[in-house]
Structure 1
Amino acid sequence: MVRPTFRFAPSPNGLLHLGHARSALLNEALAHACGGRFLLRIEDIDPARCRPEFEAAISDDLAWLGLDWERPVRRQSEHFADYQAALDHLDGLGLVYPSFESRADIRRVVAGRRDWPSDPDGAPLFPFPREAMSAVERAARRAAGEPHALRLDMARAQAQAVKKAGPLGWQEVAETGGPAQRIVADPLAWGDVVLARKDVPTAYHLAVVVDDALQGVTHVVRGADLKAATSVHLVLQVLLDLPPPLYTHHALLLDEQGRKLSKSIGSQSLAALRAQGWTPAEVRGHALGPHAAGTKGFSLVHE
């Protein structure tokens, strides 16, 4: 029998806040409740923002909260070859193409277009269809060394995934427990997502599904803001023949203005709370709220 495996996967691009604590504590509690594994993964593929001191602070904060995790810790920056192998597989299926457009190019095209669709995160869908440039021109520009990202042709990817696995959907378990429910996937809502950035040989969507599979993660417990992205991850899992985990997307903690806690808006860090005299028990209580003791009834199997 496969041992239940949970993970907490922060990026070392800032200090952890209460929202991170919530996710880490839920994962550790669920792993402990079912005799499973709890992993820490460092998602450090962004060299411009990720720093060693932030990674050290992550370990320090989690240890202060009383969490323990398996070693060694997986760092994404040490596993680019794994992501390249996945990219090569998708490329072999005819689903990957180089994209030379900049963010400024995208903004220029969609500027003033109130009817232009956005992805679930609110960013405008990529407005340059694959067919707008010939494969010959793309290959020539790539061979010339022009900076480019690698994008997934989502329409073709979804069609191949459906042909392979049937209607797309994933198994979702509520934060409060109960049996898993099937959620219908909508990958087209994301458009042609980036699989490898211009400056990094991978991107979040690709790296996370490869990591989860290689680490044997059976349960992904993460914030509700990532629920919609599961549609992209499911397509990649099907195409790469990776086992899909069970998912739980937990409620987010909000600040006084109703915004989700975030590094980008300067939400108060765990380190700052510690400096103010907060105890680990107080952080646990604020982070988990009504679910401080709640793992009873959590589904551990696919329905």
Structure 2
Amino acid sequence: MIKIKNCITKKYDQGNDSIETLKSRMDEFVTETYGSSASVDLSSIEIIDKLHAYVDIFYSEIIENNMLVRKFSHIFYITGEEINGKATFTGPDRKTALKLLEDAKYRTINAGELELMKIIAPNISSIGEIQMSLTPVMEILRELIDKNRMILVSSKTSDAKRLKYFNQISDLNIFKYEYKYDACIIEPGEEFSNEASNGIENLLSFVISHKIIYMSEISSVKPYIRTAYSYYSICEIAGNLMEISVEHLLSEYIKLYGKDPDPLKFKNYIGSLIDSKVFIKINDKIKGNEKIFEKVIKI
């Protein structure tokens, strides 16, 4: 249950004491208090001592002549009851409601990013900047391919950095390892040969797709995932792949994340996502990858 501390209470003429009248007044309260983008989820209405209902928030926008509606469900709840001939409703104050909305948006977007990251891991593992940011991981993978063994000594500065990364991914079945004294001895695990047979990028893809929460927090990975999610999330709403301009994609990114990325860097993210086949360039517009989208809509 969502806990609400700071509340707004309003009273309306009830007219009669029927539940149906109370329900109709409930929508009026929601619109007046939280704006036209807020609406009562009628399917959630139930009586538990009082009348309770959840509120959904809707955002509509037009992208490339397509009307799209993004919905955030069950952001908060309101209560209603008939007191002394008045329909009395209580819900969070506007500041609290906005905070609850931002929290819900974060959870929804974060979950969507992680699911998308699983899907596009094979693609983004080929992006040079991502490989560079994961240099310690790449060094471990290359050494295991070349020599089937790697020893990291914690007292060595360069090895200490590699160990920091390895400790985050050591439970993957492409590794087996043991600690002796101040050293970590790493060897190929059960799945290493299968993944390595398709090259080091495939190994990196395996690591990314099986450690998405950790990888998603790496600063150099985030903008690529966010750029990809900005596109595929609107296509999921539309129900089909869309051709959109860089400007529209940038606008969607800003709406989702509340940040205005450097335009040149943003174009570079798009270019890398095109090179890695997450996006396809069609004239001056961007379109998604059909195979990726098929997996997105199955989630």
TM-score scaled by structure 1? 0.28
Structure with the bigger percentage of helix = 2
Structure with the bigger percentage of strand = 2
Higher RCO (C-alpha under 8 Å, 6+ residues apart): 1
Of structures 1 and 2, the larger Rg is shown by: 2
TM-score scaled by structure 2? 0.28
